Structure 1
């Protein structure tokens, strides 16, 4: 039996990742343990060609459709909400400050396109677009909590 190579990653004092590898010997195998293992009962459904064909068809048809891009799906969902007018923002923010969770959610959902617009400006700086959007959404939730409609800002 050959040896197994194990890779380790560590960070040096300068912040650069250092990869090292070391060879480790495999654990010795006891032949009696291998022979003592009980026989596993075979599932009758495995040998059924109809079920296997049905599973393959389902899998193929799902992968045959357009590829599932999480960014595209998210953008499609966000596009459906219209932006709030200044008057609606004041109304919803007052309701949210008084404890109305649905008004708070409405303000968040209607401003998600703004988060995407800002996140796109920071692309190619080390984070994926979805990570930027996620962080922006967290910031949006905090902004809705702190929003003061009496100041007159949007």
Structure 2
């Protein structure tokens, strides 16, 4: 059953009750990474293994995303700063226990390409927060695999 979440702003990324932050360097340039994140939304299915559908809505102001296992999200883009930042919040989901969720992809030039930092910021019921904290290692692995696949995709 789809549920509407609490609308949050970009500041929620820093203040959320649960913040999972992952970072790594890849060889692709920040501009190319930004384009893959913000402009080639359908391409997410090619490099982020958990994503089975990603499509922009309202000329890119919103997104629809589906994950393996059936989780669905309707999202609003909070920030899209060329080669620096791409962030969005979830407005509607079928995930149980979630009250608010925002994700931020921050891009910083690095000596070898781009330092990619992904912040997964969430609030929810106590069981949801506990499960999310326990899932940290799996989300970290998913991030590493996704950024490695993205880097390979951008190199080809």
Tell whether the structures are fold-level matches, with TM greater than 0.5.
Answer: no
Q: TM-score, normalized by length of structure 2? A: 0.24
Point out the structure with max Rg over C-alpha. Answer: 1
TM-score calculated relative to the size of structure 1: 0.24
1 or 2 for the larger relative contact order (CA 8 Å, sep ≥6)? 2
